Amino acid sequence: MLQLIREHWLSNIRADVLSGIVVALALIPEAIAFSIIAGVDPKVGLYASFAICVVISFTGGRPAMVSAATGSMALVLVTVVAQYGLDMMLATTLATGVFQILAGVFRLGNLMRFVSRSVVTGFVNALAILIFMAQLPELTDVSWIVYAMCAASLAIIYLFPYIPFVGRLLPSPLVAILVMTGIYMASGFHIHTVGDMGELPDSLPHLLIPHVPLTLETLSVIVPYGLMLTVVGLMESMMTATIVDDLTDTGSNKNRECAGQGMANIVTGFLGGMAGCGMIGQTVINVKSGGRTRLSTLTAGVTLLIMVVFLSKWVGQIPMAALVAVMIMVSIGTFSWESIRDLPKHPLSTNIVMITVVAVVVATGNLAIGVFVGVLLSALFFANKVGRLLYIDSHLSEGDTRRVYEITGQVFFASATSFRHAFDFNEALPRVTIDVHRAHFWDISAVEALDRVVLRFRREGTDVDIVGMNEASRTLVDKVAVHDKPDAEKLLENG
């Protein structure tokens, strides 16, 4: 137990605390912006980010991963808030938490193994583009001072680590924020600050029970929206966990992360916050700033609450130009530049999947839709490739009175047609043997193809023997096939 506590909490204290502070500063404008998107008071997003960060640090399955209020969840909740009000939004957040816990219990996190590398790369690249595009409003129609402060912040972020002796003492994003805030307070420039984003809360969150009747009408709202939030939230969280796995070369417990996200959203719902999930941008900030353990996430949540409640006067002075520079750094660091360099080397199908995911996510702004399209495309390309790996050879035996067809490969919906067309039904032979000891029949399309081959031979007066079928294929064929049943022709034509 002590070893686990040391490993997950106390093995990287200084870097975790400092990176958590940076994340907290970056979370403030994001949480306020997502609250505005959802149509609720800024404190709803801020309380949610605090609660989710703190709870997930204990319950999550991926150390150093930051979860909070997010834009993808806010886009779903805006409809609930607009049509049914804040209490229904809180109830939906609670339902989301319950569904996510069930997802963890039923080990749905294992589904991440079906997400290909090209989908993950496309997801990462699209997110980097969206993060950069989200900063453009802060860089449009502004004075030269904003551009100068943004450029100076980027210079500090990238150059400070190279300063001898002090470059590694503090995360460079934190240094950039502190320096720019000091310059702003000393100069009195008229530029956009965190305080202009919205009113910061002046009290701690408290227990809030949603006042909604438990009726079928209520359930008809919170269940569909809760399921939608569950899918969106878990998909984004699982992708975030996978990215952190790659960045840190460590593993994570995806099923625990599902349940942990659910617990965090339940706590959030009872504290008056909105549903949230994993945040790739803030997670990358955390990892790039040196965060590695659960302490970094806990620090981010606690620091966020302290800042917005007790230090709001000072936090409100942070220039948005400095935070924009931090997010630009995140965008640059998140984008997989190798994926562009390696386009000529990668298979065409891989490139198509990656580019399609990027295009769909950027066009719709919905990360879940992009991932779904990418997974679907990957599955189709894979099925097409495997379907082509079907080889059928034949030779005559027993004095040229029997033809033996040797099947090698996978017979399923994508290869069933090729399987049927590989046989010569016009060859007048008394017997045919179909040797399938190096083949596997996967689905009813494969079984139907086998039925049609056998029955076609029989109509031509040829006896058919099927040999070498493995146990799994035999179980499916015995259950579904009709060629060995009375009135087989009629059964096959009737489906």
CA distance 248 to 288: 10
pLDDT for residue 407 = 96
pLDDT for residue 281 = 85
> Alpha carbon of 28 to those of 14, 31, 64, 104, 269: distances in Å?
22, 5, 18, 29, 19
pLDDT of 51-92, one tens digit each?
Answer: 999 999 999 999 999 999 988 788 788 889 999 999 999 999
**DSSP string for residues in 162-190:** GSTTTTTTS-HHHHHHHHHHHHHHHH---
pLDDT greater than 80 at residue 491: no
Nearest to 365 by CA among 30, 147, 74: 74
pLDDT of 370-408, one tens digit each?
Answer: 888 999 999 999 999 998 899 999 999 877 889 999 999
Q: How many CB atoms lie within 10 A of CB 161?
A: 14
| Superfamily of domain 389-493, CATH level 4 | STAS domain (3.30.750.24)
Sign (positive/negative) of CA torsion 474, 475, 476, 481? positive
Phi, psi (degrees; rounded to nearest 5) at 253:
-100, 100
pLDDT of 284-338, one tens digit each?
Answer: 889 988 999 999 999 999 999 999 899 888 888 889 899 889 888 888 888 889 9
pLDDT for residue 89 = 95
pLDDT greater than 70 at residue 492: no
CA distance 293 to 64: 5
CA distance 88 to 94: 10
SS3 481: coil
Domains of the chain, by residue range, sit at: 2-378, 389-493
pLDDT for residue 484 = 75
Phi, psi (degrees; rounded to nearest 5) at 486:
-60, 150
Q: What percent of the chain has pLDDT over 90?
A: 55
Identify whether the C-beta of residue 445 lies closer than 8 Å to the C-beta of residue 473: no
pLDDT greater than 70 at residue 489: no
Q: Which residue has the tokens 């590989």?
A: 422
Query: Please, which residues have CB within 8 angstroms of residue 422's CB and are 6 or more apart in sequence?
Result: 392, 405
pLDDT for residue 411 = 95
